[in-house]
Amino acid sequence: MSEIFGVPVAPGSPLAAPLTTVDAVVVAAMDEEIAPFEQRADQLAHQRHVGMARSVIATIGGRKLLLVRSGIGAVNAAAATVLAVHAVRTPIVLSAGSAGGLANGVRVGDVVVGDEYAFGNADASAFGYAPGQIPGMPPTYPGAPALIERAQNRPGVLTGAMISGDTFVDSRTVDTYRARFPRALTADMETAAIAQACYSFGTPFLSVRGVSDLCGPTAGEDFSLAIDTVAALAADVSLDLIDVPAPVTHG
C-alpha cells in the first residue's frame, strides 16, 4: 500500500503507486487539443474522469500514451499533471495544443517547441528574483534536452522560451512581455504550471504548441487559425519527437 504525506493510500486510488508504464504522458487543456492524438490511436482504453481531468490510454504506432485533457488554466493543468505522474511511470510529459505567438517573426501555423518555461505574470523582482520566477523555484523550468535537440533538426519547427499566465497577452500588453521575456516565442495558460509540477517530481518535460493567433499582430499578418488545425500540427510534431511511427496512408 502506498502513502501520501504519511497517510495510507489504497490500491486503485488516484495517487496510488503506479503499476502501468507508458511511453509518454500528453496533457492538453481542451478536447480540441487532445483529439488529434485520440484520432491517431489504434486503440483507446480505460477512459476515466478525475476532478476536471479526462484521461484515456492510447496505443499509437505501437507506443502506449496516457492522454489527459486537463481543462484550461494553471490549476487544472497542474492538478492533472500531478495525478498523471502518480498514475503511471513515464519517461516524459508533453504539453500539447495551441498558443499565442508572442515574438516578432512568429507566424500563425508555426509549431514551437519550448526549451525553457516561465510564468509571465510572476514578479518577485523586489526580492531579487528574475522576471517569471516563483520564489523557491528556478528562474525558468528546462525542457527535455534530448527532445529539444531533435526538434532543432526538424524543418518548420521553432525552438525557444515559452511563458504562461492567467491573462491573455494582446496588443495592449505585448510589448511589455516582449521586453520582459526577450526569448519567449509563445504565451499560453498551462505550460509553465505543468513544467513546475514535472520539475517538482523530477519528470522530464516538453511543451509543443501550434500558434493559433498572434499576441500583437501587425498589418498584413494572418490573425488566427482554428485551434483544431494547429493542435493537429502540434500533435504530429509531438509524436515525431517521441519516435511514434507515422500512420501508413493508402492512396
Full-model pTM: 0.91
Q: What is the spatial distance between Cα 180 and Cα 182, in angstroms, rounded to a whole number?
A: 6
Q: Which of 143, 168, 165, 155 is nearest to 233 (CA)?
A: 155
Sequential pLDDT tens for the chain (251 residues): 566 656 676 766 666 666 689 999 999 999 999 999 999 999 999 899 988 999 999 999 999 999 999 999 999 999 999 999 988 999 999 999 999 999 998 999 999 999 999 999 999 999 999 999 999 999 999 999 999 999 998 888 999 999 999 988 988 889 999 999 999 999 999 999 999 999 999 999 999 999 999 997 764 565 678 899 999 999 999 999 998 876 654 44
Q: Are 106 and 158 in contact (CB under 8 A)?
A: yes
Active-site residue flag, 213: yes
- Which of 23, 32, 33, 190 is flagged as catalytic? 33
Q: Please state the separation of Cα 103 from the chain's center in Å.
A: 19
Are 200 and 194 within 8 A, CB to CB? no
CB count within 10 Å of CB 37 equals 27
Which residues make Cβ contacts (< 8 Å) with residue 223, sequence separation at least 6?
Answer: 108, 213, 214, 217
2-241 classified as CATH 3.40.50.1580: yes
Pull the grid cell for residue 8.
495510507
CA distance 202 to 239: 22
Active-site choice (23, 32, 110, 213): 213
Question: What cell was used for 80?
Answer: 492533472
Inter-residue contact 197 to 53 (CB < 8 Å): no
Q: Beta-carbon neighbour count of residue 139 at 10 Å?
A: 12
